[in-house]
Structure 1
């Protein structure tokens, strides 16, 4: 079953068009990557899904056209967006950030259980549970941003450059946890990532964008085997 589908989506900032007919789909419970150079339209694609940029075309989520919805309406439908730059609430503690993520939920026991699960998944955060988010390292802030999004119990997790600015070992830890989240919770994922090696540890397939258009789509195995993908994104 297809959970998310974009068909011929365009997006603009004022008079500047950034996306020019992007199409992609994410299966329910599946994981799809978006690859591309800086300026290719990867982040704008995620913003189009979340309702934070002007678009045309068709954006369907669970059989519903969401293209005209506001970001808060999109979030209520079950799409959680972890933006580039993390976006944690620096003045709040780790625990308070997690509670903010669950603010629409009414199941207190479930919220408490999910907090424990996520702190087990990211033990660094358990040790910093009472610290303000602004006092965390970059890696810890990225972990917290992912956890806060998961606290909303989304059906689709949208991740924008989760490894950006992180040491390689920290980025690997973050992606190992993301993979476990997918396995444990069955959350569908759409992942924008410059480090294709990390993305391919999670996604089943990916699409490559150039200047706002799809130029290549395939399974992870197919893309790994292409010389142009290895040279451009895999450091080979």
Structure 2
């Protein structure tokens, strides 16, 4: 069943149109990828879903038209956005950042359980639980940003370049945790990545953007079998 759907969506910054009619579907309990080079419109697609840029077309979440909603309204409906650049609160501790992620919730026992789940998912954070976010490494900040999104108890998490700037081994650990999140929860994911191999380790299907338009789409197997995708993204 379709949970999130974009129909012929355009997005603009001022007078500059960046997306030129994107269509995209995310099913319940699924993970979809958005691939493409820098400037292709990947981040803008997530911002369009989150209500951070001016859009036309139609964006539907759980049967509700959310086109033009404010970011806070979109978040309250159950869409959490982990932006490029991580977005932790630097002068709060890891533990307080996790509690901030759950600020709209009132189920205290479940909040404590979910904090424990995040610390189990990312053991580095358990070791740094009392440290300010500003003292964390880049990889640990990414782990904390994802954990904050989990703490909101969303139905969809939008992940923007989770591997950006990370050492390969750290990026692998982050994506190992994302795969476990998929296996152990009902959350759906939209994964924006330049590293297609990491994205394909998580997603069921994907679209490839080029200069704000969809150039390719298909299942993971279909895309990995395409010569153009192998040459551009898989080193083949």
TM-score normalized with structure 2 length: 0.99
Deviation at 1:234, TM superposition (A): 1.1
Question: Take 1:233 and 1:174, find their aligned partners in 2: how far apart are those partners?
Answer: 20
Q: Secondary structure at the match of 1:146?
A: helix
The answer to whether 1:176 aligns with 2:179 is no
TM-score normalized with structure 1 length: 0.99
Question: Take 1:190 and 1:137, find their aligned partners in 2: how far apart are those partners?
Answer: 25
Equivalent in the alignment of 1:61: 61
Equivalent in the alignment of 1:32: 32
Question: Take 2:31 and 2:208, find their aligned partners in 1: how far apart are those partners?
Answer: 15
- Paired residues in the alignment total 236
Q: Secondary structure at the match of 2:89?
A: coil
Equivalent in the alignment of 2:10: 10
Deviation at 1:44, TM superposition (A): 0.3
Q: Secondary structure at the match of 2:140?
A: helix
Deviation at 1:68, TM superposition (A): 1.6
The answer to whether 1:226 aligns with 2:226 is yes
Equivalent in the alignment of 2:214: 214
The answer to whether 1:132 aligns with 2:132 is yes
Question: Take 2:125 and 2:171, find their aligned partners in 1: how far apart are those partners?
Answer: 15
Structure 1: give runs of 5+ residues left out of the alignment: none
Deviations 1:175-218 (A, max 9, x none): 01001111111210000000000000100000001111111100
TM alignment of 1:116-155, pairs within 5 A: 116-155=116-155
Q: Secondary structure at the match of 1:134?
A: helix
Q: Secondary structure at the match of 1:40?
A: coil
Deviations 1:62-114 (A, max 9, x none): 00000121000000000000000001100000000000000000000000000
Question: Take 1:192 and 1:174, find their aligned partners in 2: how far apart are those partners?
Answer: 14
Question: Take 1:207 and 1:33, find their aligned partners in 2: how far apart are those partners?
Answer: 6
Question: Take 1:174 and 1:84, find their aligned partners in 2: how far apart are those partners?
Answer: 14
Question: Take 2:117 and 2:58, find their aligned partners in 1: how far apart are those partners?
Answer: 36
Equivalent in the alignment of 1:75: 75
Q: Secondary structure at the match of 2:76?
A: helix
TM alignment of 1:158-197, pairs within 5 A: 158-197=158-197
Question: Take 2:210 and 2:68, find their aligned partners in 1: how far apart are those partners?
Answer: 25
RMSD (CA atoms)? 0.5
Structure 2: give runs of 5+ residues left out of the alignment: none
Higher mean C-alpha deviation, range 222-231 or range 136-145: 222-231
Question: Take 2:179 and 2:3, find their aligned partners in 1: how far apart are those partners?
Answer: 19
The answer to whether 1:97 aligns with 2:97 is yes
Q: Secondary structure at the match of 2:25?
A: strand
Deviation at 1:227, TM superposition (A): 1.1
Deviation at 1:38, TM superposition (A): 0.7
Question: Take 2:72 and 2:185, find their aligned partners in 1: how far apart are those partners?
Answer: 23
